[in-house]
Amino acid sequence: MTRSSEPFDAVLLISFGGPEGLADIRPFLSNVLRGRKIPQARIDTVAKHYELFGGVSPLTAITRMQADGLASRLHKDGLDLPVFVGMRNWHPFIDDTLSKIAGAGFARILALILAPQHSYSSCGQYRQNVVDAREALVARCKVDVEVTYAGNWHTHPGFVAANAANITNALRLLPDSVRDDARIIYTAHSIPRAMAQRCRYEAELRESAEAVSAQLGTNNWSLAYQSRSGRPEDPWLGPDICDYLRVERPQGLQSAVIAPLGFVADHIEVLYDLGIEAAAVCQDLSLPMQRAAAVNDHPVFLDALTDVVRVAHSQAKRGRLLPIMSTEKNVRTEGPPLVR
């Protein structure tokens, strides 16, 4: 089935994964933690976040929609590449998906990790998971698949435009009296500062935010973080979104649109941390706020993913090396993302 004239014969979208029912929550969190020593109270708190949504994270369903939209667009472009989904922490697991890919006769995979900005936590550990899955596949089945990663897309015009469109929709929902003064507050998952020093995560977040803000024609924006986990004594990127709101409201913040720029799906982290926790803070502060949707399966975002695959395919076919996905060093740091 492998086509020797083509650089790739399938595409793999890689994401975090999420439970699909109440019974999945604890096993899922065990996979996320992978034996790390996290206080039981923290685990219980996170489990309750999932329970509020019936134990179902929309991440898997959204990722499948992204895969279907990408495959349809590639087919229309004449690139008949099947698109598979592999998850780090829940079904379909990366190793199971690679086994499925190999079993179907595909051998050269173009992979896209569905994280716009790069750190070990958001991308590097996923690449290590792929290495581990390939080694297991060779040991189990005596076959391997070649995996190449697509280039950066955190400032791709389609990713930028989809975020700008969702922010514009959120702005329309604010009262007329405060809409013009609304500040765009971009959020992303916090990571330990020690990890941030070894990658371009902060820089890429600001590059994304600057590009979206330029398209919106505004200078009234800021960057905050959410979903901090790990030991309280360890420094992490800040400010936390809720702390930011509490500080800025007395200093003149009139209204806000919170935009989850560091995510591509409205999963539990977005729904709880922003839609419930940050929303409650805004209510306490009498601060008008709307949350912008993540890019999800926005048509322009799917067009962007299609373009990323098309460019990678063209470069590889001409024999050019693909750009390295990120510059972070493969340094394991305590305190990986816990909630998704």
Q: What is the pLDDT of residues 38-55, one digit of tens each?
A: 888 889 999 999 999 999
Percent of the chain with pLDDT over 70: 92
Of 129-133, 230-234, 301-305, which gets the smallest average pLDDT? 230-234
Q: How confident is the model at residue 320 (pLDDT cuts 50, 70, 90)?
A: low
Residues 149 and 229 in one domain: no
Q: Residue 329 falls within a domain, yes or no? A: no
Closest Cα partner for 9 from 316, 321, 336? 316
Question: Are 143 and 252 members of one domain?
Answer: no
pTM of the model: 0.91
Q: Which of 36-45, 58-67, 105-114, 116-125 has the lowest mean pLDDT?
A: 36-45
Residues 163, 85 share a domain: no
Helices (H) and strands (E) in the chain, counts: 13, 8
Q: Are 187 and 208 in contact (CB under 8 A)?
A: no
Q: Which CATH number characterizes residue 19's domain? A: 3.40.50.1400
Q: Is the pLDDT of residue 321 over 90?
A: no
285 is a domain residue? yes
pLDDT in tens, 250-269: 999 999 999 999 999 999 99
Determine phi and psi for 116, rounding to 5 degrees.
-65, -40
Let me know if residue 5 belongs to a domain: no
Please state whether beta strands 146-149 and 108-113 pair in parallel, antiparallel, or not at all (unpaired). parallel
Q: Is 326's pLDDT higher than 50? A: no
Q: Same domain for 77 and 164?
A: no
Residues 87 and 184 in one domain: no
Q: What is the pLDDT of residue 325?
A: 38
Q: What's the domain range around 32?
A: 10-153+298-317
Q: Are residues 200 and 130 in the same domain?
A: no
Alpha helices in 142-253 (DSSP H): 157-172, 176-179, 193-196, 201-216, 241-248
For the chain, give the mean pLDDT: 91
Rounded mean pLDDT, 288-306: 98
* 340 assigned to some structural domain: no
- At residue 333, the pLDDT reads 33
Q: Is residue 326 part of a domain?
A: no
Q: Please report how many Cα atoms fall inside a 13 Å half-sphere around the Cα of residue 181, on the Cβ side.
A: 11
Residue 317, amino acid: K
pLDDT of residue 4: 56
Let me know if residue 262 belongs to a domain: yes
Residue in 264, 262, 155 with CA at minimum distance from that of residue 208 = 155
At 28, which amino acid appears? F
Asked whether residue 337 is domain-assigned, the answer is no
Q: Evaluate whether 16 touches 89 at the Cβ level (below 8 Å).
A: yes
Asked whether residue 146 falls in the same domain as residue 224, the answer is: no
Of 291, 308, 326, the one marking the end of a domain is 291
Instruction: Verify that 131 and 199 share a domain, yes or no.
Output: no
Tokens of 5: 């004239």
Domain count, the chain: 2
Predicted confidence at residue 132, as pLDDT, reads: 96
Q: Are residues 225 and 280 in the same domain?
A: yes
Question: What is the C-alpha to C-alpha distance for residues 156 and 148, in angstroms, rounded to an integer?
Answer: 19
Q: How far apart are CA 133 and CA 139, in angstroms?
A: 10
Residues 201 and 129 placed together within one structural domain of the fold:
no
Q: In sequence order, what DSSP letters do the residues of 79-126 get, joined into one string?
A: ----EEEEESSSSSBHHHHHHHHHHTT--EEEEEES-SS--IIIIIHH
Beta partners for residue 93, in sequence order = 87
Q: Is residue 2 in some structural domain?
A: no
